[in-house]
Homo-oligomer: A and B are copies of this chain.
Amino acid sequence: MPTEIEADDEVGTLERPETTLIQCLEGEDLVGVQQLLDELSIDDQRRAISRCSAEKQAKLLTLLPSDEAAELMEHLAESQAVEILEDLPSETAASIVHELPVQLSGDLLRDMDAEDSSAIVEAIADIAEKTTLSERISYPNETAGALMSSAFIAFPVESTIRSVLTALSEGSENYSDQDVQYVYVTGESEKLVGVLRLRDIVINRPSRNVGDVMIAAPHRVVVHETLEELDDHFEERPFPGFPVVNESDRLVGLLSRTAVQEALAEQQADSYLKASGIVAGEEIRSMPLRTRCFRRLCWLAPNIVLNMFAASVIAAYQDTLQAVIALAVFLPMVSDMSGCSGNQAVAVSIRELTLGILRPVDYLRVVIKEGLLGIINGIVLGCVLGAVAAVWKGNVYLGLVIGGALALNTVLSVLIGGLVPLVLKRFKVDPALASGPILTTCTDMCGFFLVLNLATIAMAKLA
């Protein structure tokens, strides 16, 4: 439910860029908008635009010439850009997409609802561009096809160094914003046969044939390879980029180390969001309230069910609890502390899986390593909390029940926490997404059960 000017922008913000931006947009003052954007840093642009209503954002991008609108899009956060593009009429969106680097437009279209993205692709006039873009969108996220750049330079294997030099200097305008370090060499059907370093071109005689000085059969990656596989390529070889070929070995793009690193940083950020319960896609607070509420509830709904499940253990032991009400003080402490211990084990397993130090089959190693640690930390934490309980109520047995339950539950939690990511990974579920709720439910249930069951056994000494 975006309003014209959002409430928080009306309070004491007269001098703020967003206020000026909104005023310019209301007056359809293109020059004013351009001047303002020129003056703002990228962060300020992002911020000012995120303060405008969806309607004003659409007006801004319609008002600007499409090349300037595209430049602005490049500066926005991707989730912001996707939201804005979805709200534009497909023709306007298509003219902006036309000006974007194909790698970015592919990313944005892939992140949209299928309906919106196909409408935009349909609205693109140039047939060749439409085909390229449709092909690009067809590559799944985080594969070589999605991450590659289409801005590579290739020459047929029979060219001379001289003709390459001429072509490069004639086309130097076109290459000016590219990172030309390698020139690729193709054979029949545009199959990749070699690579030339710019250095080789400089050093060799101009009359020589490209085929004679090229590095033949260079290392390549295939469009469908995943981010993990791509990272391995780069880890094992020191090159700044690799040519990308399709299944029939035709050269289709260029994958840079930077693109892979950017995607890895995005993936890490994404894991953090998922682990915190932002699971249905990134949220930015300028999104409609309805979307934000719904997306967050998607995560909370299964959690409330899991929570009821865990709490049912307490319900089963109401009599014990009624007899020793002090237990109620310690129930959340035991489950919370075990949850913390378990989360640490989850994080270490996810990290070791990412680093390749742990395989999803290494259960035994995790059990031994976490088991030993759990016993030690369990004893330490159990002694602390047990002592507090014993002193508070002047009852050693209460201390033994609470301390014993925390110690045992710590061992269980680090074992579960350490193993859950391995199991999830093996079943191709994202460990960052599901480890937390599974762990919490287990540690809550076990914690409640241990405290209340031990207390029932020791009832005579506690009441």
Interface residues of A (CB under 8 A from B): 6-8, 11, 41-43, 46-47, 50-51, 75, 77, 80, 165, 168-169, 172, 175, 177, 179-181, 198-199, 201-203, 232, 235-236, 238, 240, 256-258, 261-262, 264-265, 268-269, 271-273, 275-278, 282-286, 289, 292-293, 296-297, 299-300, 303-304, 307-308, 310-312, 314-315, 318, 321-322, 325-326, 328-333, 335-337, 340-341, 343-344, 346-348, 350-352, 354-359, 364-366, 368-370, 372-373, 376-377, 380-381, 384-385, 388, 432, 440, 444, 448
Residues of B close to A292: CB separation below 8 A: 373
> Can you sample 30 A-B contacts with CB below 8 Å?
A42-B236, A80-B357, A172-B199, A175-B199, A177-B238, A180-B181, A181-B181, A240-B258, A257-B258, A261-B265, A264-B265, A265-B268, A268-B269, A272-B275, A273-B351, A276-B346, A278-B344, A278-B351, A284-B352, A300-B337, A300-B377, A310-B332, A311-B330, A312-B329, A318-B325, A321-B325, A328-B328, A331-B332, A332-B332, A336-B444
- Cβ 8 A contact of A181, one of B8, B179, B202, B275: B179
Contact A352 B201 (CB under 8 A): no
Contact A179 B296 (CB under 8 A): no
Counting chain B CB atoms within 10 Å of each CB, the highest count among A257, A265, A329 belongs to A329
Contact B347 A272 (CB under 8 A): yes
Residues of B close to A264: CB separation below 8 A: 261, 265
**Closest residue of chain B to A276, judged by CB?**
B347
The 8 closest A-B pairs by CB, nearest first: A276-B347, A43-B356, A268-B268, A261-B261, A265-B265, A285-B369, A277-B344, A8-B365
Query: How many copies of this kind of chain does the complex include?
Result: 2
Residues of B close to A177: CB separation below 8 A: 238
| Distance of A63 Cα from B63 Cα, bound (Å) | 69
Residues of B close to A357: CB separation below 8 A: 43, 46-47, 50, 77, 80, 284-286
Residues of B close to A354: CB separation below 8 A: 269
Residues of B close to A6: CB separation below 8 A: 368
Known: A181-B181, A278-B348. A355 touches B272 (CB 8 A): no
Contact B336 A202 (CB under 8 A): no
**Closest residue of chain B to A282, judged by CB?**
B351
**Closest residue of chain B to A327, judged by CB?**
B328
Extra contacts besides A8-B364, A77-B357, A168-B199 (20): CB < 8 Å: A6-B368, A8-B368, A46-B357, A75-B235, A177-B238, A198-B202, A264-B265, A273-B351, A277-B347, A284-B357, A285-B352, A285-B369, A296-B373, A304-B381, A304-B385, A308-B388, A311-B332, A321-B325, A332-B448, A336-B444
Name the distance in Å between A38's Cβ and chain B's nearest Cβ. Answer: 13
Residues of B close to A310: CB separation below 8 A: 332
Known: A262-B261, A300-B341, A328-B321. A351 touches B269 (CB 8 A): yes
- Cβ 8 A contact of A340, one of B77, B303, B385: B303
Contact B326 A325 (CB under 8 A): no
| Distance of A164 Cα from B334 Cα, bound (Å) | 70
Counting chain B CB atoms within 10 Å of each CB, the highest count among A269, A271, A346 belongs to A269
Counting chain B CB atoms within 10 Å of each CB, the highest count among A177, A284, A332, A356 belongs to A332
